[in-house]
Chain A
């Protein structure tokens, strides 16, 4: 029981009669990179939103480190150590990368509501911010507006921001979606780097990325778990091949 960081039990979500996710059991092992794949419309993003509590399941339960989080709020889940990224690049566009990371770092200080304190009260965070930006190769661009950054760099910034929370578990929603080959490699390396000592669950379309990163894979199709296992097992599984036929071939 204890080795599962994240566990779902018969998780289902119904949208007006349409069963988007049906009886899904996923178990993510501690310290493992776990990928959630499946053809378009398989319910990957729905599962993802259920896990981070951005939507509420119709039935079933979610456990994080053995604690039932089915009824917790998204912010509470984040505070417990499970932090998500978004499919659409989730940065604060009109703040600088430096400020983006600072937002994440200042939360544990508990001064979010201190409107009478000067900004210099956050100066103690500067070193840590630059360290994080350096880890994702953004130290040169720390003080430029984030809107001006290239797409791949925005994603890198997002990962830096997520890392700032030192989450026990990271959920990445299609980290390489919409990227050129160059950026895909960079983000893959980055995810590999940050995976050390953490548990990662990612939704990913790019099977090359999945093959090189993921230790365990869950395949979803039509809202149901089709198969689970290592990449080799999965890639030989006939029903997975069938589900992917004509929609995606890596």
Chain B
């Protein structure tokens, strides 16, 4: 039952996605998709593998620069540019992963941050990145050499970049699907097991370092896809994309939406990007507002929006059943000095 419900929901969301550009400014929507994909890719690492990377902007921004350069200066078509950006991010992920994967917790976070700062420095100083200006006026090009992604349609007084929109929407859906599949795969089970209890996974014969490395590479690659797509949307790759602020933003999005939930990072990204865009008139106060929301979120719903919501839905569907197990144990121990429910749930 829950499965068919999910399918219906998915179809509805897909239809909304197809119709959305006629209602909402398409560039804003595309921005949402890019960051949502970024957050989902990040969530694979933080939410499902239990690794907090503080340098994911390196993959997002690194791919943004590489795609931007190849499309602008080497005449790559957009899809080849994005593919190249994704592969470059995967390769970077592999190098980062090899260097960091044996570290735990805060050390892992610090080393990923340090490596990301190296990438930032390269983006600032390297001759092909445009330094402080970044790469500007990246052409959107022709998809497969056929469909002009830069084309705008004029409908009811609005100009809509529909070709690009559907291209980006398709990339987002494909990326989201790939992550969904990864989470619900044999591999997904193993990374969850590693998150839950790493020594136990080792004792069951899993080579956890290899598995964590693969999770890292997948996460980096899809972060790269997001960054590369972003370059085409804004026709710009800039230092912001590789800065540690972006690394921080993606952590925030994931936590706000709900760690380790499939839809959580999407909601989190929508929230943060909407706030950043909608409140841009109040300048740097945006940071304060988002910070306040984050604090409230941490205090009130620790599982994030989606985590909290799905818990409520589960409660409504299943009813708040008492734990079957503790009930049975107490039943069995009738007449004896039964331990309290606290002891039973140990």
Contact = CB atoms under 8 A, between A and B. Distances in A.
A52 B203 CA distance: 8
B331 interface: no
B181 A103 contact: no
A161 B189 CA distance: 14
A106 B186 contact: yes
Nearest to A147: B345
A13 interface: no
Contacts of B197: 90-93
Contact of B189 (A106, A116, A140): A106
A136 B138 CA distance: 63
A115 B214 contact: yes
Contact of B203 (A74, A117, A121, A144): A74
A182 interface: yes
B181 A115 contact: yes
B62 to A, nearest CB: 22
A149 interface: yes
Nearest to B205: A78
B324 A141 contact: yes
A95 B193 contact: yes
Interface in B157-215: 181-182, 184-190, 192-193, 196-197, 199-208, 210-211, 214
Contacts of A140: 324
Contact of A150 (B203, B205, B207, B329): B329
Contact of A78 (B202, B324, B339): B202
A148 B204 CA distance: 23
Interface string B328-341: 01001100100100
B344 interface: yes
B326 interface: yes
B207 A119 contact: no
Measured as residues with beta carbon below 8 angstroms from the partner, the interface class of chain A is 35 or more
Contacts, number: 126
Contact of A118 (B184, B329, B336): B184
B325 interface: yes
Interface stretch (A79-87, A190-198, A218-226): A79-87
Contacts of B190: 103, 106, 112
Contacts of B329: 150
A102 interface: yes
A148 B336 CA distance: 23
Nearest to B330: A150
A114 B324 contact: no
B203 A78 contact: yes
A241 interface: no
B205 A91 contact: no
Nearest to B208: A75
A33 B35 CA distance: 57
A90 B198 CA distance: 10
B206 A75 contact: yes
A75 B345 CA distance: 31
B193 A121 contact: no
Nearest to A149: B325
A98 B329 CA distance: 20
B323 interface: yes
B9 to A, nearest CB: 19
Given A54-B199, A107-B204, A115-B187, 17 more contacts: A74-B202, A78-B203, A95-B196, A103-B193, A103-B201, A106-B190, A107-B205, A109-B186, A114-B187, A116-B185, A118-B184, A119-B189, A148-B345, A149-B325, A154-B346, A182-B332, A182-B333
Interface of B: 181-182, 184-190, 192-193, 196-197, 199-208, 210-211, 214, 218, 323-326, 329, 332-333, 336, 339, 343-346
24 contacts: A54-B199, A75-B207, A86-B200, A90-B203, A92-B192, A92-B196, A92-B200, A94-B192, A94-B196, A95-B193, A99-B189, A106-B186, A107-B204, A113-B214, A115-B188, A116-B181, A116-B185, A117-B185, A119-B184, A144-B323, A144-B324, A148-B323, A180-B343, A182-B336
The 4 closest A-B pairs by CB, nearest first: A151-B346, A92-B196, A78-B205, A115-B187
